[in-house]
Amino acid sequence: MTFDSFSLNKNDNYMDDEDAIDSAIIKKNKELQMLADKALNMIIDNTDINPENGDSLQKKNILDKALEAINEILDTDKTHLSLLEKQKAAYFVVDEIFGYGPITKLLNDPTVSEIMVNGSENVYVEKSGKIEKTEITFRDDQHVMNTIEKIITPLGRRVDESSPMVDARLPDGSRVNIIIPPLAIKGPTITIRKFAADPFTLEDLISFGTLNHDMSTFLRACVRGKINIVVSGGTGSGKTTLLNVISSFIPHNERIITIEDAAELQLRQKHVVTLESRPANIEGKGKINIRDLVVNSLRMRPDRIIVGEVRSAEALDMLQAMNTGHDGSITTVHANSTRDTLSRLETMVLMSEMELPSKAIREQISSAIHLIVQVARFLDGTRKIINISEITGMEGDTITMQDIFVYKQEGFNERGQVIGRHIPTGIVPAFINNIKARGEVLPASIFKVPMHEQFGRL
């Protein structure tokens, strides 16, 4: 039996004010958390607990002991709680010992893709692309800090006033970002991007409307034909998910080097070397950044280099790798459009402190990158590819591009869902012969503009 459904109903007639309801929920949760804390202290003093061995039998034993301690505390305080409230407090105790406190059930919820703790009283989640507030709270900021310590201590990491930011990874691979006061004004903040135990497949993305069959056929041929690809988009637009999917097109006989700040990619191929950057230690030494890993990867005989995200000076090394025989490399960039992607790459190359003129940088970009895949998250929470654009070269000082596929939005339906469709522009990419030379055959029909779209233009 679970008790996740415990809450005060916002539709109850006796309480119409939503703010009052939220306040009542916070107050009740904090009361139960304080009760759970007292019970936890009693259990720790009288029980031999091994948090590393969180099997069902031990959890059941701790749950029973927590209920006994809670009843003892309530009898002493002459306080009454319902059975449901007692059981909820008992589960809080179990989560504190074997999990990560109040957010444990969110981590175990497969429908939750992201968890955002903004201080002790505000916990948000992302479900189906939409952010919503939960009824979960912590006792106070120190309770949040206790959870943070539980996350980072096994990793040998620290967070304090002198080092108030940290990136970490949970044992299941979920990515965690932590920032605390004085930088986080309203209390310790935790952001967890959950690791997908069962990653999305190409068929999943097609069913979600992220792309269509013709686009998937085209991207498969581009990856297998060793076209250099940049996946760009805003935060939470699905760049890493798409990168995971298109990386699955890489042949299994190729050696792949993946480079990330926090390892999120889940490649199915066998010959994969996963590299992860490392922050400085307590003495401020030992930092290994993405650029160091990109440079080192060139000495590892890669067939493909996949960089989870280019965000700084490593852009120059990535471009040079693409230009020196490492065809078929893939990376992601934060950008709001395909044109912005080019501007961001140029800016990041300048961060390398190499004294290169802008035209030389743009020539490097135009010769290294063949394709930009732009993804976006829409108001209804869906993620879609909105442009697949080919970089065709230079005209003067400007990099030229042409769209191969675009997403045409037509509006919203009565449920607030985006209405639209992916269509080809009728342009055949200039690198089509390079793909054919590698044995990939693309039917001409996937580039043909549908008849009704042609008439729609007239």
Residue 234 buriedness (CB in 10 A; 0-12 / 13-18 / 19+): middle
List the domains of the chain with CATH numbers.
1-98 (no CATH), 103-195 (3.30.450.370), 202-457 (3.40.50.300)
- Give me the pLDDT at residue 49, please: 64
| pLDDT digit string (tens) for the chain, length 458 residues | 343 433 444 444 444 555 565 677 777 777 888 888 888 888 776 666 666 665 677 788 888 888 888 888 888 888 888 888 888 888 888 888 888 989 999 998 989 999 999 999 899 999 988 899 998 889 889 999 999 999 988 877 788 888 899 888 888 888 899 999 999 999 999 999 988 777 888 999 999 999 999 999 999 999 999 999 999 999 888 898 999 999 999 999 999 999 988 777 888 899 999 998 887 776 777 888 888 998 899 899 999 999 988 888 889 989 988 887 788 999 999 999 999 999 999 999 999 888 889 999 999 999 999 999 999 999 888 999 999 999 999 999 999 999 999 999 988 888 888 999 999 999 999 999 999 999 998 998 999 987 766 655 44
User: Residue 34: CB partners within 8 Å, gap ≥ 6?
Assistant: 139
Q: Are 125 and 112 in contact (CB under 8 A)?
A: yes
Tokens representing 33? 């958390």
Residue environment code for 128-163, b if the CB has 16+ CB neighbours within 10 A, otherwise e: ebeeeebbbbbbbbebbbbbbeebbeeeebebeeee
Residue carrying structure tokens 């108030």:
164
309, amino acid identity: E
Task: Of 376, 340, 443, give the one whose Cα is nearest residue 242.
Answer: 376
Question: What is the per-residue pLDDT for 458?
Answer: 40
Amino acid of residue 296: N
pLDDT for 21 equals 56
Q: Where are the alpha helices (DSSP H) in 275-391?
A: 290-297, 314-323, 338-350, 358-368
What's the pTM?
A: 0.80
Instruction: List helix spans (H) across 111-212.
Output: 141-152, 202-208
* Cα-trace Rg, the chain: 26
Cα separation, 3 vs 9, whole angstroms = 15
> 385 in helix, strand or coil?
strand
CA distance 198 to 172: 12
Q: Can you read off the two tokens belonging to residue 31?
A: 């009361």
| Predicted pLDDT at 5 | 39
